[in-house]
Copies of this chain bind each other. A is one copy, B any other.
Amino acid sequence: MNPAIVLRNVARTATRRPVVAAVPRQRLRAAAVQVAARRSISSTEVAGPPDAPAPKKKEVKYTADSYPNIQRNSQFSKLTLEDVTYFESICPVVSIDKGASQDELEAFNTDWMRKYRGQTRLVVKPKSTEDVSKIIKHCNERKLAVVPQGGNTGLVGGSVPVFDEIVINMSNMNKVRSFDEVSGILTCDAGVVLEAADSYLREKGYIFPLDLGAKGSCHVGGNVATNAGGLRLLRYGSLHGTVLGVEVVLPDGRILDDLSLLRKNNTGYDLKQLFIGSEGTIGIITAISIICPQKPTAQNVAFFAVESYEKAQEIFVKTKQQLSEILSAFEFMDSSSQAFVKLVTRKKLPLETQAPFYVLIETSGSNTEHDKEKLDTLLENLMENEDVSDGTVAESETQMRELWTWREGIAEALGHYGGVYKYDVSIPLSELYLLVEDVRTRMKEVGLLTTPENPEGIVVDIVGYGHMGDSNLHLNIPVRGFDKRVEKALEPFIYEWIQKRRGSISAEHGLGVAKSDFVGYSRGETELGVMKAIKGLFDPNGIMNPYKYIKA
Contact = CB atoms under 8 A, between A and B. Distances in A.
Interface string A215-254: 0000000000011010001000110111000000010001
B313 A508 contact: no
A81 interface: no
A26 interface: no
Interface in A310-350: 313, 316-317, 320-326
B527 A264 contact: no
Contacts of A471: 183, 262-264
A271 B527 contact: yes
A325 B262 contact: no
Contacts of A266: 226-227, 229, 277, 504, 506-511
Nearest to A235: B325
Contact of A277 (B270, B321, B370): B270
Nearest to A267: B522
A269 B237 contact: no
A255 interface: yes
Interface stretch (A95-103, A387-395, A425-433): A425-433
A527 B258 contact: yes
A33 interface: no
Nearest to A364: B325
A15 interface: no
A263 B511 contact: no
A267 B264 CA distance: 27
B238 A264 contact: yes
Interface string A287-310: 000000010110000000000000
Interface stretch (A413-421, A443-451, A457-465, A529-537): A529-537
Contacts of A233: 263-264
Contacts of A277: 266, 268-270
Given A241-B241, A254-B526, A366-B322, A534 B264 contact: no
A233 to B, nearest CB: 7
A255 to B, nearest CB: 7
Interface residues of A, number: 92
Contact of A320 (B255, B265, B294): B294
A257 interface: yes
A182 B429 contact: yes
A321 B366 CA distance: 8
A250 B370 contact: no
A183 B429 contact: yes
A321 B204 CA distance: 12
Given A238-B241, A240-B240, A528 B317 contact: no
A505 interface: yes
A546 interface: no
Nearest to A502: B261
A269 B550 contact: yes
Given A294-B320, A313-B182, A274 B267 contact: no
A502 B505 CA distance: 40
Contacts of A45: none
A276 interface: yes
A277 B269 CA distance: 6
A17 interface: no
A180 B510 CA distance: 26
A507 B261 CA distance: 12
Contact of A526 (B250, B261, B278, B324): B250
B527 A240 contact: no
A426 B270 contact: no
A8 B316 CA distance: 44
- A229, A241, A268, A471 — which one has the most chain B CB atoms within 10 A of its CB? A268
Nearest to A239: B241
A267 B470 contact: no
A366 B324 contact: yes
Interface string A370-400: 1001100000000000000000000000000
A182 B317 contact: yes
Contact of A262 (B180, B260, B294, B503): B503
A507 B278 contact: no
27 contacts: A182-B313, A182-B317, A205-B321, A238-B241, A238-B264, A250-B530, A255-B526, A257-B524, A257-B526, A257-B527, A261-B428, A262-B426, A262-B504, A263-B470, A264-B426, A265-B504, A267-B511, A268-B527, A270-B276, A294-B320, A296-B324, A297-B324, A322-B366, A323-B366, A367-B370, A367-B374, A370-B374
Given A264-B471, A266-B510, A266-B511, 20 more contacts: A183-B471, A205-B321, A256-B527, A257-B524, A258-B527, A263-B470, A264-B426, A264-B467, A264-B472, A266-B507, A267-B504, A267-B506, A268-B519, A268-B531, A270-B277, A273-B274, A366-B374, A370-B370, A370-B374, A534-B534
Interface of A: 180, 182-183, 205, 226-227, 229, 233, 237-238, 240-242, 250, 254-258, 260-271, 273-274, 276-278, 282, 294, 296-297, 313, 316-317, 320-326, 364-367, 370, 373-374, 426, 428-430, 467, 470-472, 502-511, 515, 519, 522-524, 526-528, 530-531, 533-535, 537-538, 549-550
